[in-house]
Structure 1
Amino acid sequence: MIRFLLRFIGMWLLAGAFVALVLDGVRSIASSTLVMTPLGVTWLATSETSLAHTQAFIETNLSPGVWNGAMVPLLEAPLFAVLGVLGLLLILIGRPKAR
């Protein structure tokens, strides 16, 4: 059951990555320049308070270095790449055992 759930969520994340890639492609064609929407911009537009709470939680409980060293580059990465990698990881973790 858990494996199915991991694969199911992974497929939804891959679908989201594809949608983000198509949207970036359409924006790139319309502006005649390469456009890649970062994860941080999307998260900020979706839920500004959860981003602020996450930053405060990481800086308080772990360290500000973790936020600057790990989270800032992740938030600057293209949304389609982050969703795609996370989706692939979940699918690989949830794959059936080899017989």
Structure 2
Amino acid sequence: MLKFLARTLGLLLVAAGFVGLVIDGARSIVNNVISFTSVDSLVGLVMPGGVPGLQSRVTTGLSPWLWDALFVHLLQLPASVTAFFIGAFLLWVGQKSAEPIGYLAGR
């Protein structure tokens, strides 16, 4: 059941990453400048409180140095590429195990 959820979420994230890449590409063509939607702006749209709310949760729940060392850099990545890579990782984790070579069922 857990592998099914990982595959489903991975497929949705890969599809969302592709759609985001198409939208960012169309925006870049129209504006004649390469531009990507960052994870920072996506968090501001999806999460109540935006990045300051996320920062307060990370610094109180985990550690203040973790925010400066990791999350500041992760929030600057392109959202479409990040979603694609996380989705690909979830698809890899949730893949079905391969049949052993030379195994005969029923014997």
Determine if the TM-score, normalized by the shorter chain, exceeds 0.5: yes
For 2:50 and 2:26, locate their aligned partners in 1 and report how far apart those are by CA, in whole Å.
Answer: 28
TM-score (norm 2): 0.85
Instruction: Report the counterpart of residue 32 of structure 1 in structure 2.
Output: 32
Question: Structure 1 vs Structure 2: percent identity of aligned residues?
Answer: 31
1:39 counterpart letter in structure 2: V
* Higher helix content, 1 or 2: 1
Shift of 1:48: 3.7
- C-alpha root-mean-square deviation of aligned residues, in Å? 1.4
Where 1:12 maps in the other structure, the secondary structure is helix
1:25 counterpart letter in structure 2: G
State which drifts further: 68-77 or 51-60.
51-60
Shift of 1:68: 1.2
Runs of 4+ in 1 over 2 A off after TM superposition: 45-48, 50-54
Where 1:36 maps in the other structure, the secondary structure is coil
Shift of 1:45: 2.2
Instruction: Report the counterpart of residue 23 of structure 1 in structure 2.
Output: 23
For 1:70 and 1:3, locate their aligned partners in 2 and report how far apart those are by CA, in whole Å.
Answer: 28
Shift of 1:50: 5.6
Aligned pair count?
99
State which drifts further: 73-82 or 60-69.
60-69
For 1:70 and 1:90, locate their aligned partners in 2 and report how far apart those are by CA, in whole Å.
Answer: 21
TM-score (norm 1): 0.91
Name the structure, 1 or 2, with higher relative contact order (CA <8 Å, separation 6+). Answer: 1
Larger Rg: 2
For 1:64 and 1:7, locate their aligned partners in 2 and report how far apart those are by CA, in whole Å.
Answer: 33
Instruction: Report the counterpart of residue 56 of structure 1 in structure 2.
Output: 56
Instruction: Report the counterpart of residue 84 of structure 1 in structure 2.
Output: 84
2:4 counterpart letter in structure 1: F
- 1:29-73, Cα deviation, whole Å (9 max, x unpaired): 001110111011111123242643331121123222111111111
Mapping of residues 42-53 of structure 1, within 5 Å: 42-49=42-49, 51-53=51-53
